[in-house]
Structure 1
Amino acid sequence: MNKHHESHELPDSHGSRGLPDDDSQITLRDPADLADALPYLMGFHPTDSVVMVALHGRRGRFGGRLRLGIPRSPGEWPHAAEQLAECLVTGSERRGPRPDGIIVFLCQDPDPVGDMTGSHVMEKLRPLAQQLRTACGALDVPVLEALCISDGRYWSYCCPDARCCPPEGRALALPGTSALAAAATYAGLQVRGTLREMEARLTPWPRPAAAAEQERVLAATEERLVPRILDEEERARVGHETLDLAGLLMRRLSGAPPASGRSDGDALDDGLIAHDEAAALVLGLQDRTTRDRAAEWMEGPDAAPALRLWRALSRRCVGRYTEHAAAPLTLAGWVAWSTGDEPAARVALGLALRVDPGCQFAQLLHQACNEGLDPEALRKCLREERAERERAEREACEGRDVCEERAARDEREEWAELERRGPGQPVTSPHRPKPRRKAPLNRKETANRPAGPDGGTQGARPAPRGIRRAGKVGRRDGTGR
């Protein structure tokens, strides 16, 4: 079971009785309205997912939400149900009042291989629905409705009335045709397709030939880069090269013409990035310092091309390099969250934790996004770090310029002094320290010095006039001889 569920906090104004605009509240009266509201609550159509929504107050305002992929093994369902119920209730209590009720959605389409129908899926998931109801009831929070959505239809596990919830289920409303869809569009809420489609933009290439070629280039680049990354001095150079290449590709992506759709746009981005460029970036981003520097492209004109680049690099992590996708996936989730696309951020961060559960950066961002924190605090921190680094680099550059200018000035002064004195004369720059004169040797030191080739003391100073040297130092007489 994937323990990294997605939690979605919704303000009180996004209630089961209304949308953000207080003047145009929408009342959800029956299971059909709830099933139609689910994509707008999540921002996408959840597939293969358990979704739980907390309700508050007498009118049942929507509160916290969470999503988890349906565990494949039914043996994991009881434990998953207890975890989900406890997480939703305790999370709601940390942020506000305790929920007064919970709505459960089980979303799964029939397996395309086989003859299963939506009714079969509904019956298969019935034990999971009952376990979720039991787990919530154990926490004194009732499940007011539990729906199964499959193959374009919905079923209720709670309503016994066959007139509104027949055994064969009811068809979902056509997308965009309900009053809720109109109100959500007016409020600016978007549905980004299905969860499967959103994940496909971030998962490795399904094309065998292209994936095999990319894996070969990744292996060759790894042999060349890893020794440099392990070297302390070369690691910094590799980091600068990685960021320079990322900036180049971002400018290349920004200059590309817009595509008609998501799949067309992704294919266009893939064609603009060569295998060796993608390999160098994927491996270079494994360095934590380089990855954190790349996270500074999170706002303004840098955000859109950076998000396209990180998505494209996530698709290039093929074969045995799947775990390398944690870095670009985390960066993609961070940029999406920073720009206000929380559903896309949760999907990207969830995939990052799926390929590398120990990625601390992804864990922190996933938790902050789930708890509804404002990303501005992290953006401010990254801005300050970038400003401090640029200031230090500027001061270091100015210091080098001063040293070079001083050295050039000294050299000009020496040449000017040489020309003034003429050839053969020593020149001493006023900026150079004068050579130190050796202190004169005393009589004891002179006696201990080894004898020179002429019999005298090697290295000893010549005796002044009037001093007789006949193997030893003489004395002056009274006449000064």
Structure 2
Amino acid sequence: MSTSKSTVQVTSLAHLAEILPYLLGHYPDDSITLHTPGPNFLDGVTMTFPLPEDPTEWRATTEIAARQFAAYAHDEGCRPDEDVIVYLCREPRPGQTPWDTAALLAPLTDWLTPVLAEHRTTVLQTIGLVANRWWAYECHIEGCCEGEPLPSPDDPTSITAQMVRLGRTLGPRTRDIVKEFRATADSDFLKELHTAVGHFNARCATSAGRDATLAQTLNQIGSAIGRFRDGDSVLSRALTTQLIVGLRDDAAAEAGIAHAEDDDLPHARRLWAYLARHCAAPFTREAVPILTLYAFVAWRQGDLIAARLALRDAITTDPDYELATGIHLATLDGEDPRTYLASAREDLAHRLTYLQHAVEAASEYRPIADATAARHSEALDAATADYFVQALTERGRVLASHGTIDIIDEALADFRNGRPQLVDEVAARITLGLQDCETRDAALSTCEESELPYERQLWGYLARRCVPPHTDKAPPLLTLLGWVAWRQNDTVTASHALADALGIDPDYRMAKVLLHAIRAECDPARFLAICREEADRFAASRADLDTL
């Protein structure tokens, strides 16, 4: 549509059909493309929408596409009355001829036209592209413009020949681009991934576990990119599954953006594509953050086509995934990805500092899923039945409460004398006894500062034994640990322990009170006075046991 030697000349419907992959930079399999031609035809506003496999969904798709395109064209400064070229692309399915598929596509233009007309936009031509043939649906002459082969590249007037003279190459097909990151099923791997998801959920049951898992994931991302930088093309199954499930954490995915420096772009792209290819159904949602990271790297490389196709898959799977939608809008608005990169690097630096403190603090009390975890769980199971039978009556509850405090005193004496551990049954009995709030209050530290290290050792020791499914028993222990740490002026550990208690039980009142006091920079001496009054009252209540 231009006579300049430096521009393309579209002079026929055949040219109109042939130009699509040059217009987009790729051939869009199974899609609707809407284009408002500019002065050089290739200029102008263009949007592509995936065409669902199920034809019963096509009418809704066309209506959404028409409205979104009209809004986008308006935002890009197009006049409402500008004409639109519609492209309908689909390959024949098994048992279909190209003519069958073209007939299946024909109603789409009837659905698009009235919606676009609402925005004063007219459909100039609708071109169907099927199996390297083209249909012009606005032509109503029987047998005309139906199933013509696309022009031969040998024709000197063809679009392909013109593009060659202009130094332009034919874009790839969508199906070839997406092979880089589309998943393929491996039943054995998917079983391992299922197991890894279960382990991830168990580890992340507490704030401390989430922090430790996030720190591990961030280290693994750097390690994996380093391996790809050194020439590796595969990872162990263990590392692959851990990375996939670790990136479910939004913080891990956002930190992954920081690994998009110029020198690492090819290696990061190969890593994210490799991980995405392992996220076959039923784990397609696990692919969403990975596809988003792949898209960001592709965007950094200037490969907007691959970026948008990956983002399309991510957003189709999870329309509410904010990182993907944010990057998608940024690519449409022409933003500079280096702005995202700089922000991600700054956020990562702050996050790593926080995690270093959090992981160091939590190492004191975080349950460890080692060979002893099952033993700890069994001890708590056994003690639970005995304890609650004893505490069924009021007298039994009071006796159990005083008994717990006595056992705690004995345990502290053991630690004071250098014993490194308690008998499992004793540890379980104390843990269960402290589920009673009155007993917990009586256990709040009132001793001299020289005794605080032994109390802190005991509460951390017991908290580490609250392994799944007994994680819910940790809040009293974490609260007691937080109180002791606060008394020692270690507000970092105190804050993390109390926050982790609330992560397990958001309504645990004592943890809320202490955490608020720490954040308000209150003096723990005020609380210590209250604790000592409570300890005296509890000690005096022993005399009442005989009257119960």
Q: TM-score, normalised by structure 2?
A: 0.59
Letter in 2 for 1:159: C
Larger Rg: 1
Match of 1:142 in 2: 122
Greater relative CO, 1 or 2 (CA 8 Å, sep 6+): 1
CA contact (8 A) 1:56 1:101 kept: no
Q: Which sections of structure 1, spanning at least 5 residues, go unmatched?
A: 1-15, 258-268, 397-481
Partner of 1:26: 8
Number of corresponding residues: 357
Letter matched to residue 120 of structure 1: D
Secondary structure of the corresponding residue to residue 352 of structure 1: helix
TM-aligned CA deviation for residue 154 of structure 1: 0.7
Note the alpha carbon deviations across 1:78-119, whole angstroms, 9 max, x for none: 4433332222222111121325110001111111x21x2111
Give the whole-Å Cα distance in 1 for the aligned partners of 2:115 and 2:133.
26
Q: Distance in 1 between matches of 2:318 and 2:16?
A: 35
74, 87, 93: which one aligns with 1:105: 87
Matched, 1:41 2:20: no
Determine helix, strand or coil for the equivalent of 2:191: helix
1:300 paired with 2:233, answer no
Structure 1 residue 76: deviation in Å? 3.9
Whole-Å separation in 2 of the counterparts to 1:394 and 1:144: 61
- Measured after TM superposition, the shift of residue 190 of structure 1 is 5.5
1:248 aligns with 2:227: no
1:332 CA displacement:
0.7
**Range with greater deviation from structure 2 (175-184 or 307-316):** 175-184
Deviation string for 1:36-94 (max 9, x for gaps)?
2111222221111111111346x756311111122445554444333322222221111
**Aligned pair 1:173/2:152, yes or no?**
yes
One-letter amino acid of the counterpart of residue 25, structure 1: T
1:182 Cα deviation after fit = 5.9
Question: Does residue 367 of structure 1 match 2:329?
Answer: yes
Name which of 289, 298, 310 aligns with 2:272.
310
Per-residue CA deviations over 1:253-272 (Å, capped at 9, x if unaligned) read 22338xxxxxxxxxxx3xx2
Structure 2 match to 1:349: 311
2:99 corresponds to which residue?
119
CA gap 1:129/1:189 in 2 versus in 1, 3 angstroms: same
Specify whether residues 215 and 127 from structure 1 end up closer, same or farther in structure 2 by C-alpha distance, changes over 3 A only: same
SS of residue paired to 2:334: coil
Q: Report the CA distance between 1:285 and its aligned residue.
A: 0.7
Does structure 2 retain, via aligned residues, the 8 Å contact 1:110–1:150?
yes
Aligned positions of 1:379-458 closer than 5 A? 379-386=341-348
Please state whether the residue corresponding to 1:25 is helix, strand or coil: coil
CA 127–300 in structure 1, closer or farther in 2 if over 3 Å, else same: same
Q: 2:176 aligns with which of 188, 197, 202?
A: 197
- For 1:128, the equivalent position in structure 2 comes to 108
Q: Are the counterparts in 2 of residues 152 and 172 from structure 1 also a CA contact under 8 Å?
A: no
- Out of 185, 204, 207, the residue aligned to residue 232 of structure 1 is 207
| 8 A contact 1:89–1:98 mirrored in 2 | no
Aligned residue identity for 1:288: D
- Residues 102 and 220 of structure 1: CA distance in aligned 2, closer, same or farther (over 3 Å): same
Q: CA 1:182 to 1:241, structure 2 compared with 1: closer, same or farther past 3 Å?
A: farther
Cα separation, 2, equivalents of 1:240 and 1:329: 21
Report the Cα distance in structure 2 between the residues aligned to 1:223 and 1:389, rounded to whole angstroms: 25
For residues 168 and 205 of structure 2, the distance between their equivalents in structure 1, rounded to whole angstroms, comes to: 47
Matches of 2:303 and 2:340 in 1, distance apart? 16
User: Is the alpha carbon distance of 1:347 and 1:178 closer, same or farther for their aligned partners in structure 2, counting shifts above 3 Å?
Assistant: farther
Q: Partners of 2:58 and 2:276 in 1: how far apart?
A: 31
Q: 3-state SS of the aligned residue for 2:340?
A: helix
Q: Taking structure 1 as reference, are residues 78 and 218 closer, same or farther at Cα in structure 2, changes over 3 Å only?
A: closer
Match of 1:50, SS? strand
Deviation at 1:313, TM superposition (A): 0.6
Counterpart of 1:135, as a letter, is V
Give yes or no for contact 1:24–1:183 (8 Å, CA) kept in 2: no
Deviation at 1:328, TM superposition (A): 0.5
Amino acid at match of 2:344: L
Task: Assess if the C-alpha contact under 8 Å between 2:139 and 2:145 holds in 1.
Answer: no
Q: Distance in 2 between matches of 1:166 and 1:38?
A: 17
Change (3 A) 1:394 1:127: closer
**Is 2:134–2:145's contact at 8 Å kept on the other side of the alignment?**
no
The alignment partner of 1:321 has SS state of coil
Would you say the 8 A contact 1:311–1:332 is kept in 2? yes
Q: Percent same amino acid at aligned positions?
A: 26
Return closer, same or farther for 1:54/1:166 CA change in 2, 3 Å cut-off: closer
> Does residue 86 of structure 1 match 2:67?
yes
Normalised TM-score (structure 1):
0.66
CA contact (8 A) 1:54 1:88 kept: no
Query: Residues 176 and 395 of structure 1: is their aligned pair in 2 closer, same or farther, counting only changes over 3 Å?
Result: farther
Distance 2:47 2:2 in 1: 20
Out of 321, 329, 333, the residue aligned to residue 295 of structure 2 is: 333
Structure 1 residues 179, 107: CA separation in 2 closer, same or farther (over 3 Å shift)? same
**Alpha-carbon offset, residue 130 of structure 1:** 2.2
5+ residue gaps in structure 2? 359-548
> 2-side partners of 1:23 and 1:292: how far apart?
47
* Distance in structure 2 (CA, Å) of the matches to 1:279 and 1:136: 46
Task: Tell me how large the CA RMSD over aligned residues is.
Answer: 3.2
Q: Which has the higher helix share?
A: 2
